[in-house]
């Protein structure tokens, strides 16, 4: 029961943040939309920041699930990376249907919204982006072992370029409210990893 309430608050907060911004969503909005009183919210999340961090962690859980599902599958490493990018684009389409507009990257949005006054949130976002980059760097290294990617390429830098491209095209997709803006991402990433430096 308590678990259900916590989950409802978290899911509601996540949807509200996606549909607008973290700054725009107040604790009152979450209570109203989740039909939970404020005391109960503060029982589970002692501050807006605690709720924000929980939303960030949930977003990362969902991204990690997609990473596990695609990068952890069978097949050549670059094909698995491609499957991840396809899954990401497909997630963006689903979220658009659910929320009425392309929400952009749930993790990147929180990063772009960061202010200098939120060191805790910033630290957690940096960790999450690093963990995401590590997952992609592992695939790049696997591809290097197979000879699919130039062995002299620094895997972490290459993975950061991939994450940066995902973030950048997500900003365009959000601005234009068009998930199709993500279409160039898959060929671009493949070219990036295959090109001679």
Site residues (CB under 8 A) for its own copies?
Answer: 19-21, 23-24, 99-101, 104, 108-109, 111-117, 122, 125-126, 129, 157, 160-161, 163-169, 171-172, 174-177, 184, 188, 191-192, 195-197
Q: Which residues of 155-164 are buried (b: 16+ CB within 10 A; e: fewer)?
A: beebbbbbbe
Q: Which one, 58 or 190, has the nearer CB to its own copies?
A: 190
Which of 6, 171 has the CB closer to its own copies? 171
- Rounded to a whole number of angstroms, the minimum distance from the CB of residue 1 to its own copies is 33
CB 159 within 8 Å of CB 134: yes
Classify each residue of 115-151 as buried b or exposed e, where b means 16 or more C-beta atoms within 10 Å of its C-beta. eeebeebeebbeebbeebbebbbebbbbbbeeeebee
Q: Look up residue 22 and give its DSSP letter.
A: T
Q: By C-beta, is 6 or 96 nearer to its own copies?
A: 96
| Two tokens, residue 18 | 């996606």
Residue 189 CB, shortest distance to its own copies, in Å, is 11
Q: In the complex, what is the shortest distance from the CB of residue 72 to its own copies, in angstroms, rounded to a whole number? A: 25
Q: How many CA atoms lie within 13 A of 158 on its CB side?
A: 29
The nearer residue to its own copies, 73 or 164, going by C-beta atoms, is: 164
Q: How far is the CB of 129 from its own copies (least distance, A)?
A: 6
């Amino acid at each position: 029961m308590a678990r259900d309430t916590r989950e409802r608050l978290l899911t509601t907060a996540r949807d509200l943040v996606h549909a607008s911004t973290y700054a725009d969503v107040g604790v009152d909005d979450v209570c109203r939309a989740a039909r939970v009183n404020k005391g109960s919210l503060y029982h589970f999340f002692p501050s807006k920041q605690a709720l924000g961090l929980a939303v960030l962690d949930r977003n990362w859980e969902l991204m990690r699930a997609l990473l596990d599902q695609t990068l952890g599958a069978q097949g050549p490493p670059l094909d698995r990376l491609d499957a991840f990018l396809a899954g990401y684009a497909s997630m963006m389409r689903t979220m658009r249907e659910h929320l009425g507009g392309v929400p952009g990257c749930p993790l990147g949005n929180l990063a772009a919204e960061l202010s200098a006054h939120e060191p805790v949130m910033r630290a957690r976002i940096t960790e999450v982006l690093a963990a995401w980059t590590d997952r992609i760097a592992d695939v790049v290294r696997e591809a290097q072992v197979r000879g699919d990617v130039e062995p002299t390429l620094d895997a972490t830098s290459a993975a950061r370029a991939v994450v940066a491209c995902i973030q950048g095209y997500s900003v365009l997709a959000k601005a234009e409210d068009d998930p199709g803006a993500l279409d160039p991402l898959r060929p671009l990433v493949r070219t990036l990893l295959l090109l001679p430096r």
